[in-house]
Amino acid sequence: MGKLSDMRSTGSTKVAAALGTFALLLFLFTQPMAATPSQPRIRVLILDGFSNHDWHQTTALLRGILEPSGLFTVSISTAPPTAASPGWEQWRQNFSHYDVVIQTCNDIGGGPSWPREVRIAFENYVRNGGGVLVFHSGNNAFPDWPAYNQMIGLGWRNKQQGDAITINSSERLLRIPSGQGENTGHDGRSDVVVHRLGDDPIHHGMPRAWKTPTLEIYYYARGPAKRMRVLSYGYDQHTRMNWPLEWTVRFGRGRAYSSTFGHVWKGDVQPPSLRCAGEQTLLLRTLQWLARRPVTVAIPADFPTEAATSIRPEIQIPASAQ
């Protein structure tokens, strides 16, 4: 009995060790690669302060996703909330101190414009090689700013403000001229299958299609749509057409990325849109690409499939953002 007991004990120990090793490997596989001394952290600046969406919570959730990865240092620059608010003379940024800017400001509903000096500095930053992630409602902003329209390629605009892009059943891009079709809009938020186009560095290694929760598909997004690459598309029930979900634009020597992911409406708490394993992975990889770094973040084991979403636990909000 002693030998049998010893064998059982030894077998149990080996099984436990194997399970522990498997759990460790699974944990490591789902984590992004941290910065190394030869690859310093990417410096990110979030611009916020006004939006028809919940910009306070948007910034807090973005920090809660980015900072634990170990890949980024995140700074915040909050604009005065209205045109009449004090502080505009002091609201200036040295964009050259950052590798990527995340732009969340949205002036829909009477919000303020940025000062001319800030606009010029922002244009020069991107034109000279900077990266900008135009985050959700930031894509709706500043329709009367020509350089911004060029930078975002497509935006929330009326039908006289540029061409729209749709994708046919053969995955060919079709241009709809200004004035034709509808103003930009979206149907209700829903779980949407994201279809990749091509194999760009941001998406490399991801499934060809995956499902994301509570997404808005912008139909008839409008703009110059020049030097633009559509990365993915989704099918809209309202128009029964395919529309871009993510796209990049080359502006001078710089890179800009826009998408309709990441909706955070007023009153939303821990929205699935940002707890999606696919969107969280996409954010990290997009920022690496915008910063001209190798895209090293692994595709995690919990990445969604075409048949099912993958929603992670609540995002831990940094204490300083609460």
> 151-179 pLDDT, tens per residue?
999 999 999 999 999 999 999 999 999 99
Residue 51 has pLDDT above 60, yes or no: yes
Q: What is the DSSP letter of 175?
A: E
CA-to-CA distance for 226 and 17, rounded, in angstroms? 56
Decide if 317 is inside a domain. Answer: yes
Q: What are the structure tokens assigned to 58, written together?
A: 């948007």
Q: Give the confidence band of 241 by pLDDT, cuts at 50, 70, 90.
A: very high
CA-to-CA distance for 131 and 76, rounded, in angstroms? 16
CA-to-CA distance for 304 and 206, rounded, in angstroms? 10
Work out how many domains the chain is built from and give that number.
1
Contact 246, 259 (CB under 8 A): yes
Residue 17 has pLDDT above 60, yes or no: no
Which range among 16-30, 101-115, 205-219, 308-322 shows the weakest confidence by mean pLDDT?
Answer: 16-30
**Amino acid 36: pLDDT:** 52
**Amino acid 311: pLDDT:** 98
**Amino acid 38: pLDDT:** 65
Which range among 29-43, 67-81, 185-199, 233-247 shows the weakest confidence by mean pLDDT?
Answer: 29-43
Q: What is the DSSP letter of 238?
A: T
pTM passes above 0.75 = yes
Q: Which residues contact 195 (CB under 8 A, 6 or more apart)?
A: 171, 208, 209, 232, 233, 234, 242
Average pLDDT (68-75) is 98
DSSP H helical segments within 192-241, as ranges?
A: none
**Amino acid 109: pLDDT:** 87
Between 273 and 15, name the one with better pLDDT.
273
**Amino acid 265: pLDDT:** 93
Average pLDDT (196-213) is 97
Decide if 179 is inside a domain. Answer: yes
CA-to-CA distance for 184 and 161, rounded, in angstroms? 10
Q: Which residues contact 190 (CB under 8 A, 6 or more apart)?
A: 214, 215
Length of the chain: 322
Supply the mean pLDDT for the chain. 91
Average pLDDT (93-119) is 96
Residue 15 has pLDDT above 90, yes or no: no
**Amino acid 320: pLDDT:** 76
3-state SS class at 163: strand
Identify the domain containing residue 215 by its residue range: 40-321
Q: Give the confidence band of 32 by pLDDT, cuts at 50, 70, 90.
A: low
The CATH number of whichever domain residue 208 belongs to comes to 3.40.50.880
Radius of gyration (Cα) for the chain, nearest Å? Answer: 22
Decide if 251 is inside a domain. Answer: yes
Residue 20 has pLDDT above 50, yes or no: no
Q: What share of the chain is helix, strand, coil (3-state, %, to 5)?
A: 30, 25, 45
Q: Give the confidence band of 25 by pLDDT, cuts at 50, 70, 90.
A: very low
Between 10 and 119, name the one with better pLDDT.
119
> 274-288 pLDDT, tens per residue?
999 999 999 999 999
Decide if 46 is inside a domain. Answer: yes
- Kindly provide the residue ranges of all beta strands, DSSP E only, lying in the chain, ordered along the sequence: 42-48, 72-78, 100-103, 131-134, 164-167, 173-176, 185-186, 190-196, 209-215, 218-219, 228-236, 241-251, 254-259
Average pLDDT (212-240) is 97
Decide if 13 is inside a domain. Answer: no
CA-to-CA distance for 189 and 253, rounded, in angstroms? 35
Decide if 148 is inside a domain. Answer: yes
Decide if 12 is inside a domain. Answer: no
**Amino acid 267: pLDDT:** 87
**Amino acid 201: pLDDT:** 97
307-312 contact pairs (CB < 8 A, 24+): 307/211, 308/211, 309/191, 309/211, 309/212, 309/213, 309/272, 309/276, 309/278, 310/276, 310/277, 310/278, 311/213, 311/272, 311/275, 311/276, 311/277, 312/275, 312/276, 312/277, 312/280
Decide if 208 is inside a domain. Answer: yes
DSSP H or E stretch at residue 62: helix 55-66
Tell me how far the alpha carbon of residue 220 is from its chain's centroid: 20
